[in-house]
Amino acid sequence: MDRSTIHYLHQKGWSKTEIAAATGNHRDTIARVLNEPIDTQPALRERPSAVAVFRPQIETWLVQQWSVQRMLEEARQHPEHPYTGGQAAFYDYVRPIKQARKGRPSQVPICFEGLPGELLQIDWGEVRRFPFTRPALAGQTRYFFAARLKYSRWMWVRFTTEMREETLLRCLIAVFVAIQGVPWVVTTDTMKTVVLGRDHANQPLWHPAYATCATEFRFHPDAGDPGAGNQKGAVENLVKFVKQNFVLGRSFRDDAHLAEEADAWLHRVNVARPSDATERLPVDLLAAEQATFGPLPAVAPDYGFFDTVKVSRERLVAIATNRYAVPTHLVGMLLTARIHPTRIARYHQDILVATHPRHQGRNARVVIPEHYDAVFATKPRARVMVYRDWLVQVSPLAAEYVSQLCRKRDDAMESQILARSQLAQQVGVAEFLAALELAHDQQTFGAEYVQAILAQPQPRRRPDPAALSRPLPPALQVPQPAVERNLADYAQYVANRVLVVGGGVCASSARWSRS
């Protein structure tokens, strides 16, 4: 019962003994309360906080950008006076100190407006358990590249499945293409695909591919200080804006539907709706900026980003999980790779040494047989196997045809493989595949059949059934059964299989191991 109740009962005529009996207190306690003012508060015991001893260290830790959890761990491990109190008490002690620091002049955020064509800010966003409705995509994570021009507030967003170096550069170049120019400065945070670290003067150590792109597109790269996250507040607000204004409350069938909806949303925020910051349409201010942009390089649509690769002892260089062959004399050397969207070129001291079509899969070995001419002089069998691998990689149809050929005409495989490779090089891969498809449909396996089809007019187009029934030239009239082999003929190979370990080929006869 509080003090005001005791005074109230006494005013009603209750005796001290009666009040003591009603409140459960001693009569002397009732007498003392009645002699004191009603609003008198009990004296508090002076107990110093167990965290107060760490006040100087807490001030230092805050300057060093330590988290409160890290401070608590360090305080508990202090060698002289370890902190033994609770986590809540520690957090409550640190909180007002942090709030007081925010009021210091050095901590007051300062906003500024960019000049036309001056500043492009970029960042990555992440959305886990993306709201896909297709069951196969449920629970997947999607990332998005976000860019915003500081002056016009024009924004650009693209969703991806990863955040690799090439993806970053392709997205950045796509922004340049969309705005038809290159801003003076591109600023980011310290993402690993841009900044590898900092030197003794706290200056960024740029990723070589990003630095090369900046040089070739002529923009100035800038990275915010790791201890000053508010330096790129506009683009961080864009990341939040995408999550809350575009993703939140929506669902998407798949990535194609997501891309369509994102394009429609960007049209609304750039073209149809004025920016809250400028009260102008971003697309209108973008028109004013374009006159101040740097020129867009002609190589932008087919830009090959930079990488340094080393040639292995197998005359291969590894790029994005695939391996590409180079001439044999470059073993052990460092080459410059330019990775284009559809091809990969390698240079040695500014001299182009090899170009391959880019393989879009993973863990493939892509070769040009001519690169191994020096090896073929001493290993004729290697010539056949390299050309066979090349044919297999041309297309799934070619792989199926070569597989059937090796079974039906094993005794003439060497001549057949080399003859097909020569045909492909003479007429081009497209016409060669068209002829190969017709030969496969007719179940005729042999270089002579493919050559006969190529001799017909317009071999790219599938001939009518009457054309397929025409007899081959007399020199090529070899019945298919005559070139097929009975399964029993393979008994000697099955019984004498040899595993060729060094050559990477598992053969069914000693003949396969010849060099």
User: Tokens at residue 152, please?
Assistant: 């016009």
Give the DSSP letter of residue 31: H
Q: Could you tell me the pLDDT band of residue 462, with boundaries at 50, 70 and 90?
A: very low
SS3 percent helix, strand, coil of the chain, rounded to 5, is 50, 15, 35
Look at the alpha carbons of 392, 398, 402, 403 in this order and tell me if their dihedral is positive or negative.
positive
The answer to whether residue 114 scores a pLDDT higher than 90 is no
Share of the chain above pLDDT 90, in %: 33
Share of the chain above pLDDT 70, in %: 77
Cβ-proximal residues to 429 (8 Å cutoff; 6+ apart), any chain: 394
What are the pLDDT digits (tens) for 247-298? 988 999 999 999 999 999 999 999 999 988 888 999 999 998 999 999 999 9
This prediction's pTM: 0.61
Rounded Cα distance between 302 and 169, Å, is 12
CB 438 within 8 A of CB 468: yes
**Helix, coil or strand: residue 514:** coil
Q: Read out DSSP for 402-464?
A: HHHHHHHSGGGHHHHHHHHHHHHHHH-HHHHHHHHHHHHHTT--SHHHHHHHHHSSSTTSPPP
Rounded Cα distance between 434 and 399, Å, is 14
